[in-house]
Amino acid sequence: SQKIEQNSEALNIQEGKTATLTCNYTNYSPAYLQWYRQDPGRGPVFLLLIRENEKEKRKERLKVTFDTTLKQSLFHITASQPADSATYLCALSPYYGNNRLAFGKGNQVVVIP
Amino acid sequence: DVKVTQSSRYLVKRTGEKVFLECVQDMDHENMFWYRQDPGLGLRLIYFSYDVKMKEKGDIPEGYSVSREKKERFSLILESASTNQTSMYLCAVGVNYGYTFGSGTRLTVV
């Protein structure tokens, strides 16, 4: 069956360090992999998209890698700040179909000042 | 960028009531989605629509229906609210390279 797995345990990290989150998937062949940020009581907000033929993407302090052989994406927040504390969700989408995304359950990050 | 507005942030309804959740976008996107989100279960797709009057069931459509009479508005209907429908409901608009979500409606059924 198809699965998207993110760590269910919160990641507690010291301010200034790099936070790294993992997204593993099974039985998908995604054209795109995306990361979203969600704050408590709010809707997810799109952060970054990486295509299957891209290895790495950066946006400010964020970096995403995509390894289609390992079926894994890593999401890095460098120089983390308390304002980065949130839940981060990965999502996959195919090339064709009805534009449905498949979401992971999310991984919480807590940045400690 | 599209703006997605959900009509209520918090809603309390009684068991058996018919409940309408509204979602409005300010652009002309074809695809609109309704999710519910519960602790430990993540986002689950209820219904989606890819055009006016077009709809498809998602993963958990039971107990829900939808309406899309105009392109900018997608409504989720709980025909007879039950306590197990207490949840955060999220509307999204977009395509397979990115969604924009509304702020969510926290529905409590008592």
B4-109: CATH topology is Immunoglobulin-like (2.60.40)
Please give the Cα distance from A10 to B72 (Å, whole number): 37
Residues of A in contact with B101 (CB under 8 A): 43-45
Q: How far is CA B96 from CA A32, A41, B12, B100, in A?
A: 8, 24, 33, 11
Given the candidates 2.60.40.10, 3.30.43.10, 3.40.190.10, 3.40.50.2300, the CATH classification of the domain at A3-112 is 2.60.40.10
Burial B10-38 (b: 16+ CB within 10 A, else e): ebebeeeeebebbbbbeeebebbbbbbbe
By CB atoms closer than 10 A (0-12, 13-18, 19+), residue A26 is: exposed
Which 3 state secondary structure label does DSSP give A83? Answer: helix
Q: Which residues of chain A are modeled with pLDDT < 70?
A: 95-98
Taking contacts as CB-CB distances below 8 angstroms, the residues of chain A near B99 are 36, 44, 46, 91, 101
**With an 8 Å Cβ cutoff, are A97 and B96 in contact?**
yes
Q: In which residue ranges of chain B is pLDDT below 70?
A: none
The two tokens of residue A67 are 């390894």
Neighbouring-strand partners of residue A12: A110
Say what the pLDDT of residue B95 is. Answer: 85
Do residue B99 and residue A46 have CB atoms under 8 angstroms apart? yes
Q: What is the pLDDT of residues A76-90, one digit of tens each?
A: 999 999 999 999 999
The domains of chain B are located at 4-109
User: How far is the C-alpha of A58 from the C-alpha of A61, rounded, in Å?
Assistant: 7
A98 in reach of chain B (CB within 8 A): yes
Per the DSSP assignment, residues forming a β-bridge with B107 are: B11, B87
Instruction: Measure CB to CB from residue B97 to each of A42, A43, A49 and give the nearest one.
Output: A49
- The answer to whether the CB atoms of B103 and A49 lie below 8 A apart is no
The alpha carbon of residue B80 is apart from the nearest alpha carbon of chain A, in Å, by 25
Looking at residue A98, what is its pLDDT? 64
What chain B residue is nearest to A8 in terms of C-alpha separation?
Answer: B40
pLDDT at A2: 86
